[in-house]
Amino acid sequence: MRLRDSHSTAEPRSETGASLPAMHARQTGVQALPFVASAVLYLGTLIGALWAANRMLLAGVWLGWAITGPFVVAAVLVHCAERVAPYRREWNHDQGDSVADWYHVAFSGVIASELYRFVFGLLMLPVAALIVEWRGASVWPADAPVVLRLALAVLVAEFGYYWGHRWGHRIRFLWRAHATHHSPERLYGLNFMRAHPLGLLLLYVGLFVPLLALGCDQDTLTLLSLFTFVHGLFQHCNIALRLGPLDWIFSSPALHRWHHSSVELEAQHNYGANLIVWDVVFGSRFLPADEEVGVLGIENIESFPKMYFDQMKVPFALDRLEAAGSPRKANMAAAPAAVAAQSARMPP
């Protein structure tokens, strides 16, 4: 079975006891941006997008525009930075995946996301009303400053997301829905929304349902959505950022690349969407020093569908894809040493 959990922050090891990251370490050949420049780009874009969206909400602008405008600006900045300081230059080249990723942005990023938020809002209204009736007042601090409300929303949402995401790797039928997100063999800003609608549903339940049940206000939910979208751009970006101590707070690109490793035991880490704090609490943070992630993708699937509508069939065709990918182990001798070591199955 593909899914195996790890509760330790220790480096995953092979059957021989060798450190897996050391076995397939790969240097990028591109010098990372200095910490100050990285932090300015990363935090400046996040804070700037949230500030602009909040100003628009206060001015009565429709929440859809309050998300779309700042997000588009952030996406352009990330795209430009990927060209100036790429983490891996080859990841900037289309691998026959960009058309499908645009479909994912349209269907998962816009249509499915808004549909889920609307439905969850309707379903959670009675729950929020019951909580208010039970306590005699709303649980949510609606009168608190927007910065505090957003910080609380992110912390609560991340807890639900963390466990939904972790279960998505540990429970077979949930993995069927989540596997599409792990199919890319490169990471770049656009594929942050590569997700099957069923997999997105699982993650959004953890992200939004607890907040809606607590009576979280609409503006805070809008800012949380924007924060998640903009951070998703950075989390999957192909930018050589050096974020130092911020890697202990945010689920940064350096951390998230290991989550997309094709080595199963490496991918069982760094589950946070925006924050890494719950990974720290529950022992699943993983960022080996002076090592770079190797090949990305799904360990036991050799050829994942490239076309969007074929990817929509994956939850129902995963067994067949895994069976077709099994010869990958037999062909290791013909593969580059780094890829062969990274593809080795871990003991159960």
pLDDT digits (tens, 9 = 90+) for 224-275: 999 999 999 999 999 999 999 999 999 999 999 999 999 989 999 999 999 9
Indicate whether 4 belongs to any domain: no
3-state secondary structure 43-66: HHHHHHHHHHHHHHHHCCCCHHHH
Q: What is the pLDDT of residues 266-283, one digit of tens each?
A: 999 999 999 999 999 999
How many angstroms from the chain centroid is the CA of residue 205? 15
Q: What is the pLDDT of residues 157-198, one digit of tens each?
A: 999 999 999 999 999 999 999 999 999 999 999 999 999 999
pTM of the model: 0.83
Sequential DSSP letters for 115-170: HHHHHHHHHHHHHHHHHHHHHSS-SS-TTS-HHHHHHHHHHHHHHHHHHHHHHHHH
> For tokens 């199955």, what's the residue?
345
Indicate whether 250 belongs to any domain: yes
Indicate whether 135 belongs to any domain: yes
* Tally of CB atoms within 10 A around 262: 22
Indicate whether 197 belongs to any domain: yes
Indicate whether 15 belongs to any domain: no
Indicate whether 200 belongs to any domain: yes
Indicate whether 212 belongs to any domain: yes
The structural domain count of the chain equals 1
Task: State phi, psi for 192 to the nearest 5 degrees.
Answer: -65, -25
* Residue 138 confidence (pLDDT): 73
Give mean pLDDT, residues 36-62: 97
C-alpha closest to that of 344 among 7, 13, 6, 8: 13
* Residue 116 confidence (pLDDT): 86
Burial 104-134 (b: 16+ CB within 10 A, else e): bbebbbeebbeebbeebbeebeeebeebeee
121: containing domain: 20-343
* Residue 59 confidence (pLDDT): 96
Measured CA to CA, the distance from residue 140 to residue 86 in angstroms comes to: 42
Place 338 in a pLDDT band, splitting at 50, 70 and 90. very low
Indicate whether 12 belongs to any domain: no
